[in-house]
Amino acid sequence: MKIVFLGPPGAGKGTQAVRLCGEKGIAHLSTGDMLREAVRVGTEVGLKAKSYMDSGALVPDDVVIRIIEETLSRLGWEKSFLFDGFPRTVAQAEALGEMLKTRGAGLDHVVYLETSAGVAVERLSGRQTCRKCGANFHEKNMPPKRAGACDHCGGELYQRDDDRPESIRNRLQVYEAQTADLIRYYADKGLLRRVSGDLPAGDVYAEVQQVLGF
Ligand code: AMP
């Protein structure tokens, strides 16, 4: 099964994806996580991506398309995948469609986490991310057991540069300008499944499972 999670920054795509993939044995492909890792290690891709990411702009299509293609080739095209944060432009969606089609595969579901701007801002501005394993917490909605430390690996929690107010505003504008078109794009293909992203995480998860038929 091949699934895309679509929705603005702060919709809870990562939170839902980690849980679903953990329970169902699906490979979780987050381009944001892959890019942050490339920045951390200091690869050529990371050096190129960093300034875009810090300001909340999109990394150029060719860079992310190449990362996805390499990852799918490495893991095997026949596997079940959940794409989290990819595609983010129609050009990326078309490239993904083509790469799957040439391997005799295609997307099964695009889950759209419909989330209002107020809820998204509140989630992003209170988010705390583990430096080591990338797990996300929230100072109010999902606090770690021990302040400042990751529940899973004990790593240090920090606020992502792009979770600061100026970047958040920019990311939401970028989403409206460049990514929201994908709602229509996938609705026209009959793949869009809507869930209420404003609800608490457990309720969103129940809806996600329902639309996926799990
Ligand atoms: P995320 O963790 O999904 O919020 O992504 C963090 C940042 O990584 C985004 O604000 C972009 O700068 C970059 N990024 C992640 N995925 C993509 C993508 N599919 N296309 C372009 N840029 C991306």
Residue range 143-169: average pLDDT?
A: 94
Say if 162 falls within a structural domain: yes
pLDDT tens per residue across span 182-199: 999 999 999 999 999 999
Give domain status of residue 55, yes or no.
no
Residue 36 lies in a domain: no
Predicted confidence (pLDDT) at residue 31 exceeds the cutoff of 90 = yes
Confidence of residue 23 (pLDDT cuts 50, 70, 90): very high
Q: Is the separation of the CB atoms in 139 and 125 below 8 Å?
A: no
Residue 69 lies in a domain: no
CA of 64 to the centre of ligand 1 (A): 9
Q: DSSP for the chain?
A: -EEEEE--TTSSHHHHHHHHHHHHT-EEEEHHHHHHHHHHHT-HHHHHHHHHHHHTPPPPHHHHHHHHHHHHHHH-TTS-EEEES---SHHHHHHHHHHHHTTT----EEEEEE--HHHHHHHHHTEEEETTT--EEETTTB--SSTTB-TTT-PBEE--GGGSHHHHHHHHHHIIIIITHHHHHHHHTT-EEEEETTS-HHHHHHHHHHHHT-
**Angle, to 10 degrees, between the axis of helix 44-55 and the axis of helix 165-174?**
100
Distance (Å) from CA 93 to ligand 1 centroid: 14
What pLDDT, in 10s, does the model give residues 149-159? 999 999 999 99
What is the reported pLDDT for 122?
Answer: 95
Q: Is position 213 within any domain? A: no
Please identify, by atom number, the ligand 1 atom nearest to the C-alpha of residue 87.
19
**What value does the mean pLDDT take over residues 167-180?**
94
**Into how many domains does the chain fold?**
1
* Given the residues 48, 160, 164, 194, the one annotated as active site: 160
Q: Can you give the pLDDT at residue 2?
A: 97
Question: Considering the entire predicted model, what is its pTM?
Answer: 0.94
Is pLDDT above 90 for 58? yes
CA of 5 relative to ligand 1 center, distance in Å: 13
13 found inside a domain: yes
Residue 186 lies in a domain: yes
> Is 20 part of any domain?
yes
Structural domain of residue 116, as residue ranges? 2-26+80-207
pLDDT higher for 165 or 26? 26
Backbone angles phi, psi at 9, to 5 degrees: -55, 135
CATH number at residue 184: 3.40.50.300
pLDDT tier, 55 (very low <50, low <70, confident <90, very high otherwise): confident
Q: For position 92, what pLDDT does the model report?
A: 98
Beta bridge partners of 136: 129
From residue 93, give the alpha-carbon distance in Å to each of 35, 131, 156, 209.
Answer: 18, 30, 35, 23
Catalytic residue among 2, 88, 123, 193: 88
**Whether 79 is catalytic:** no
**Catalytic option among 127, 140, 145, 146:** 127
Decide if 160 is catalytic: yes
